[in-house]
Chains A and B, each alone.
Chain A
Amino acid sequence: MADGAVSTASTAGLTAHILVPDRLDAHLVAAPGEVMAVIGPNGAGKTTLLRALAGLVPMAGSVTVSGRSWTDPPVLVRDRNVGLVFQDQSLFPHLSALDNVAFGLRARGVARADAEATARSWLARFGIAELAARRPRELSGGQAQRVAIARALAPEPALLLLDEPFGGLDVGVATTLRVELARHLASYAGIALLVTHDALDALTLADRVLVLDEGRVAQTGSPQEVAARPRTDHVARLVGLNVIREDDVFRSFSPSAVTVSLGQPEGSARHRWRGTVVSVAPHGDAVRILVAADRELIADVTPAATAELGLVPGREVWLSVKETAVRTYARAPG
């Protein structure tokens, strides 16, 4: 099955090996209509990956989209048929929302009246038709990002690249926009890559998740797989799991399975660590503490226990977890 999916994608979808010296060495494959979330810590190469696909970063390797190579011979940025959505929107400040959305169509030779009609319909799809005449500085953050996404989608790109489209927006605005984007992505025939810091984006918008770590692909899989069996500390932290790497396997356990004590724990707990509390923060009904041991671990404790044990940053504590609460899975190559 896996092989079949790859060969289909290589003719109709995206196949790429992005090689940017000292920054990025990543293979990726995506089928048409697929939404792939790209997650990873800062500096992992997420934005570089998007910019390389768009042709904005010099790269070695190869990019093939819909059976056409973009790298051999090299294809200019303007001929790549990508839609790029920037975190800061980067709307043309001197053009109205309508002209911003129509820009890509006009640049590709669509007559003015047709381009404007299409742009108008895109603004309507995003529920901001009445803002057509406004300049970017007269738009709120959420409105501007809607215009930016509409601008990227209007020329019907083969590849839609979204670089943290909800970054810098209020939580409420981001939530609304996430729901809207999910709807638009569902009807979008091309391939979408979504760089995000937010586990929620990956879980709600993506068909597949690609985890980057230090310029390499650490993991790919469905959002559910990645969330249940994270292979990097970053993803573990995003989805709220502790992950320990041991030789050929990963071991993960939930923060609520961790027991916190001041003295060395006795009894059957096989895994135990001594460390210092780094931070204490409310997490739902519980209190989540971050402890620096030989690795960073998170534990959820009750507010009563927090007070009883005097858990404040700097406190020395013991953490332990029962073997029965630990899930073990193979450490297959990325």
Chain B
Amino acid sequence: MTTRADARPARASTLGRPPLVLVVPGGIAAALLVLPLVSLVLDTPWGGFLDQLRTQAVRDALRITALASAVTVVACLLLGTPLAWLLARVDFRGRALLRAAVAVPLVLPPVVAGVALVSALGRNGLLGSVLRETTGVTLPYTTTAVVIAHTFVSMPFYVLSVEGALRASGERYDVVAATLGADRWTTFRRVTLPLAMPGVLAGSVLAWARSLGEFGATITFAGNYPGTTQTMPSLIYQTLQADPEVARTLSMILLVASVAILAALRNRWLTAP
């Protein structure tokens, strides 16, 4: 990071020194972003790192977080892809409205998302009460609720990313496929989807990352029960009050997981135009 920052002004030296009015606020912004992560790394009690991983609570939280984020990505692929295709390719009434509605969870405070989920799927919710009366199933405070909350907050990232990719690749190749006798499903499988793959990949990573850090909607809708609904962020929040050192260890685990994925995919899509 530092070597890079040093290299940039040197390259631009023919235009004069970077003005302080830009360097100072830029430096503050960089410090704000980098310092907390650096101090987290420095503060982590590495000695007990592996021991922390072995406790039941951590293993449960890791399992639920991994499960929820994996199911979220699968749900995005199976349900979000068709939605993105509908938004990008089918001209129906209310499309603009639906696109706007799909984007709302992006900017919605997660705790509001949780409240909205309770009012829809809670015991006495719009759908929840019907579900309870017909099948006896209640969703809140179950692992299923965790998955639903994660999918709710993550899906918009996926849908918008894939829709953008579908729009960018355009209908041109769909038209070519049609003149060659392909029906729309064949065209989707063999032409549209392969060409939108960078968007699918980027969207999956965004959704996965969003799911990994999800806290507000989950704790509101699914609660914080160890073994069933307690995810890593919930556990960290709970532990921070009792034992900050352990919280830092657990945070470190999430940080390492996030950075590892980012690094692995960097060449795949972060550098893509």
Contacts and interface: CB of A to CB of B under 8 A. Distances in A.
B195 A93 contact: yes
Given A93-B195, A94-B195, A86 B181 contact: no
A107 B176 contact: no
A230 interface: no
A256 to B, nearest CB: 45
Contacts, number: 52
A151 interface: yes
Nearest to B182: A107
Interface stretch (B22-30, B73-81, B83-91, B183-191): B183-191
Contacts of B191: 92
Contact of B179 (A54, A92, A93, A94): A54
A107 B183 CA distance: 8
Nearest to B186: A107
A7 interface: no
Interface in A114-173: 151, 155
A47 to B, nearest CB: 13
Contacts of B182: 78, 103-104, 107
A90 B183 contact: no
B180 interface: yes
B101 to A, nearest CB: 30
Interface residues of B, number: 16
A279 interface: no
A152 B240 CA distance: 66
Nearest to A83: B179
Interface of B: 172-173, 175-183, 186, 190-191, 194-195
Can you list the 9 inter-chain pairs with the closest CB atoms, starting with the nearest?
A104-B180, A107-B182, A77-B178, A84-B179, A107-B181, A108-B181, A94-B194, A78-B178, A90-B176
Interface of A: 54, 56, 76-84, 86, 90, 92-94, 103-104, 106-108, 151, 155
19 contacts: A54-B179, A56-B178, A76-B178, A77-B178, A78-B179, A78-B181, A78-B182, A78-B183, A79-B181, A81-B181, A86-B176, A92-B173, A92-B177, A93-B195, A103-B180, A104-B182, A107-B180, A107-B182, A151-B180
